[in-house]
Amino acid sequence: MEAMGWGRYPKATADLIEPADAQSLQKIVASQKKSASCISRGAGRSYGDSALAGQLIGSRFLDSFLALDEQQQTLRCGAGVKLGDILKVCLPRGLFLPVLPGTKAVSVGGAIAADVHGKNHHRDGSFCQHVIQISLVLASGEVVSCSATQNQELFRASCGGMGLTGAIVEATLRLAAVPSRYIDQRSLVANNLQECFAHIEDNADSKYSVAWLDCLATGDDMGRSVLYLGEYSKGKNRKSDRKYQDRSSISVPFSTPSFLLNKSSMSLFNSTYFSLQKHKSRTSRLDYDNYFFPLDRLSNWNRLYGSKGFLQYQFVLPGEGALEGITTVLEKISKQGKGSFLTVLKKFGEANENLLSFPRSGYTLTLDFKNETSLFPLLDELDRIVLDHDGRLYLAKDARMSEAVFKASYPNWEAFMAIKAKVDPHNRFASLQSNRLGLAT
């Protein structure tokens, strides 16, 4: 089969194996030749090549709900369960996932492997900081349980480890009580990047915080943006306020011609969007689905970038150099006209102890670029800016980072490799990304 990530670049030929249960997965892994390699694949929502290999182990059938303790606010489930299914079950009970990425289509196993983050990292950290325990199938076929207190080293390597220590088969998650399915959103307009940073800092106590940026604006308007702040609506704590409702979506039926995405069309979109948001009401009440997952309303939105796909570029810079570094990045992008419809700025809190987790204290910027030959030299330039400001790129979004850039920006990579060598000495778990970055050699 032809396999690809959400960015539809790169593409690879792979064999997909979908075990019926954890026991079947154990047998598959144990019977593999030492020279063969595989990688787990959940919902296919990582953007680049982190879930691509010659052999893919799908978690589609590892989708059971195993135990829900409403009093202790914990859930044990299979790695193939999608976050949206958890919300469907838990929200009517007044429970919610503490951390959510930008789509509810992500699997639990994928969320752990990428240690995903959301709009509240500055307050609540990343997904794995709310993971109590995971069960992992090692390269030997053995199943081990890992947590912050049991097999701690393996737990810290597996959370954010991109599936390279073994295949996650189930997990126990900590949930959070919420009063309502609604979010009270407040928006603040910033006329430039410095003003946006000031708004974020002034509202650091807000539960959720995310800013959309016009990445093509220049001069005094550079970094003009809209900051969206969110808090759970208190309401009257009625059952109807926690009722789950399926939301209809519109599907993009085919890949659009990539020539439609150019500097002019993106500048027009960004200018129009900023103008509309500038004159909209500053407060609104949104269903959680609309607040957390706006892009899920447009199924297959990745087709909008054309048949060659796109690359999402996300980096984090520590706070002291973030404003200067992001300004330099925006200058480079606007100069070359490689704009992005979706440019998102968020503030991160402190890093956790997981060896390859992406977030660290500072600011993270995310951009989408259509795949074209002229893009790659620009991304190499952006890499140098990121390194010059002591930053790093997100592995779950990466499709082309060099080994040198990775090893210069992830200081714990050698500690990770030492643990991987213990549990997977023959690199049975490897991806195109891990081979490129020197994590499975």
Sequence-ordered list of residues with C-beta below 8 angstroms from that of 169, at least 6 positions apart, any chain: 22, 25, 59, 62, 78, 79, 109, 135, 136, 137, 143
Tens of pLDDT, residues 213-260: 999 999 999 999 999 999 999 865 566 676 666 676 777 777 877 777
Tens of pLDDT, residues 313-369: 999 999 989 999 999 999 999 888 887 878 999 999 999 999 999 999 999 999 999
DSSP for 182-216 reads: EEEEEEEEESSHHHHHHHHHHTTTSSEEEEEE-TT
Q: pLDDT band for 278, please (50, 70, 90 cuts).
A: confident
Residue 270 lies inside a defined structural domain of this protein? yes
Residue 441 lies inside a defined structural domain of this protein? no
Task: Return the CATH number at 293.
Answer: 3.30.70.2520
Cβ atoms 77, 66 nearer than 8 A: yes
pLDDT at 142 over 70: yes
Residue 35 lies inside a defined structural domain of this protein? no
| Global confidence as pTM | 0.96
Mean pLDDT computed over 52-81: 97
Cβ atoms 274, 347 nearer than 8 A: no
Residue 264 lies inside a defined structural domain of this protein? yes
What domain count does the chain have? 1
Cβ atoms 310, 337 nearer than 8 A: no
Residue 310 lies inside a defined structural domain of this protein? yes
The pLDDT, as a whole number, for residue 280 is 74
Tens of pLDDT, residues 30-49: 887 766 799 999 999 999 99
Residue 439 lies inside a defined structural domain of this protein? no
Q: What distance in Å separates the CA atoms of residue 78 and residue 203, rounded to the nearest whole number?
A: 37
Q: What distance in Å separates the CA atoms of residue 102 and residue 292, rounded to the nearest whole number?
A: 6
Question: Which structural domain, as residue segments, surrounds residue 338?
Answer: 182-400
Cβ atoms 101, 118 nearer than 8 A: yes
pLDDT at 261 over 80: no
Tell me the pairing of strands 11-13 and 225-232. unpaired
Residue 225 lies inside a defined structural domain of this protein? yes
Residue 93 lies inside a defined structural domain of this protein? no
CA-CA-CA-CA torsion sign (111, 88, 119, 308) = positive
DSSP for 109-129 reads: HHHHHTT---TTHHHH--GGG
